[in-house]
Structure 1
Amino acid sequence: MNAKLKLFCLIFVVCTLTYLCKKSKSVESELFMSNVEALASGEKSGDIIRCNGIGSLDCPQTKSKVYRIWYQ
């Protein structure tokens, strides 16, 4: 009887921890997605000052690949 009680408690603890971990990950992913949306929502509203370097970004002025785009 004592062994069955220990096994039940162990299974209960594992299930509870699994549920709590999944719940906290969903909250983190919602927070992450709202941060990504906030960053992507048009903070670059100013005029372009300059594009420099060689990289993978498309410069809106010259249509060439640049490393960095500086905004006002």
Structure 2
Amino acid sequence: MKTTMKLFCLFVLVFFLVHLCKKRGSVEAELFLSNVEALASGENADRSCFGVGSLDCPQDHSKVYYIW
């Protein structure tokens, strides 16, 4: 009985750790892809700013409503 309980607890622990590692890996992969996209776009991307709002325009650092 004790052996069965120990094996069950070990199985639950391994399952939890595998699930945790997979979840953490997907967040890291998403972050990695975001960084690659940011590096690929470069610093001098063609962007236009429109309106008056709370966003900082990357061209002249004025406050704008929309950046595209």
**Band the TM-score falls in, shorter-chain normalisation:** 0.5 to 0.7
In proportion to residue count, which structure has more helix? 2
Q: Which residue in 2 is equivalent to 1:19?
A: 17
The reply on whether 1:37 has 2:22 as its aligned counterpart is: no
Q: Which runs of 5+ in 2 are unaligned?
A: none
Count of aligned residue pairs for this structure pair: 66
Which of structure 1's runs of 4+ aligned residues deviate more than 4 A?
Answer: none
Q: How much is the aligned-residue C-alpha RMSD, in angstroms? A: 2.3
Deviations 1:15-51 (A, max 9, x none): 1112201221232132112112023225264434x31
Task: Identify if the C-alpha distance between structure 1 residues 39 and 56 changes in structure 2 by more than 3 Å, giving closer, same or farther.
Answer: farther
Match of 2:66 in 1: 68
Q: TM-score, normalised by structure 2?
A: 0.66
Residue identity in the other structure for 1:47:
D
Distance 1:65 1:42, change over 3 A: farther
Name whichever structure is richer in strand by fraction: 1
Structure 1 length as normaliser, TM-score? 0.64
Kindly name which structure, 1 or 2, has the bigger radius of gyration based on alpha carbons. 1
Structure with more contact order per residue of length (Cα contacts < 8 Å, sep ≥ 6): 1
